[in-house]
């Protein structure tokens, strides 16, 4: 079984300019995801997908492979994960003349992952052959039944009640609300067949649950400061 890690790192971050190579505790942010992948006994190749020459050079210096430069059409603000992973899969097939069975997606913006997450996620996927992918999630503190969306001058429930179902879901007692989870950026593991079907996750997604105090997604300068503080202790 051939396993690739794909680390997506475009150069055009808007929330924090040059975010993927901003310094975190003395090292570029992307280094943490590269190191995490390189230390996994399961991963055969650690590949950075980027459109940026400086990011590519830094990634190679820290041991990653950058066998291609990502086309600019797949490095825009609204580019979705499927386009990035599918491009990486097709490019690597042509360059390496080999076909990875499983792809591990590690986002540079989640640098502080729990130990062993790659191995646990891959083991879970392999032990469940009917599953299409594995995704890291954490229990959400905000329930969608109690969220609202604007509609002209009024608001309406974000989750619609279906015919025959209980109405006014937002009025249900907290004690009977179903558990819900929020996806984190720690890890996603997907089969090659799932990507070939046109999806980055498929329909049968297994969860890897991350404790909320271990979740960190760097999206702004406050998050970066928080990450620096955590690494000092």
Q: Where along the chain do its domains lie?
A: 3-138+182-231, 144-176
**Mean pLDDT along residues 165-183:** 80
Residue 152 has what pLDDT? Answer: 81
For the cut 80, the answer to whether the pLDDT of residue 162 exceeds it is no
H helices within 102-161, ranges in order?
A: 117-127
Residues linked to residue 8 through DSSP beta bridges, in sequence order: 49
For the cut 90, the answer to whether the pLDDT of residue 76 exceeds it is no
For the cut 60, the answer to whether the pLDDT of residue 205 exceeds it is yes
CATH code for the part of the protein at 3-138+182-231: 3.90.550.10
Residue 166 has what pLDDT? Answer: 59
Could you count the other beta carbons within 10 Å of the beta carbon of residue 137?
18
Residue among 41, 43, 32, 39 at smallest CA distance from 9: 32
> Measured between alpha carbons, how far is 170 from 188 in angstroms, rounded to an integer?
31
DSSP classification of residue 47: E
Residue 169 has what pLDDT? Answer: 81
Q: What is the pTM of this model?
A: 0.89
Indicate the pairing of strand 45-49 with strand 27-28: unpaired
Residue 95 has what pLDDT? Answer: 97
């Amino acid at each position: 079984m051939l396993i690739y890690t794909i680390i997506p790192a475009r150069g055009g971050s808007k929330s924090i300019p040059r975010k993927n190579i901003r310094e975190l505790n003395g090292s570029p942010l992307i280094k943490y995801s590269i190191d995490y992948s390189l230390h996994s006994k399961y991963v055969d190749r650690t590949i950075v997908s980027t459109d940026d020459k400086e990011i590519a050079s830094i990634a190679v210096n820290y041991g990653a492979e950058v066998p291609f430069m990502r086309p600019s059409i797949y490095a825009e603000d609204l580019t979705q994960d499927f386009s990035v992973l599918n491009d990486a899969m097709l490019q690597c097939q042509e360059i390496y003349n080999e076909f990875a069975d499983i792809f591990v997606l590690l986002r540079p913006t989640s640098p502080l992952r729990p130990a062993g997450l790659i191995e646990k996620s891959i083991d879970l996927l392999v032990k469940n052959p009917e599953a299409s992918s594995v995704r890291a999630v954490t229990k959400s503190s905000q329930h969608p039944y109690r969220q609202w969306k604007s509609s002209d001058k009024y608001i309406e429930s974000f989750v619609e009640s279906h015919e025959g179902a209980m109405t006014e879901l937002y009025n249900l007692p907290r004690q009977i609300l179903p558990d819900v989870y929020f996806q984190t950026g720690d890890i996603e593991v997907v089969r090659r067949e799932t990507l070939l079907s046109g999806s980055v996750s498929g329909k049968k997604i297994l969860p890897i649950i991350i404790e909320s105090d271990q979740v960190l997604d760097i999206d702004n300068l406050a998050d970066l400061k928080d990450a620096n503080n955590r690494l000092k202790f």
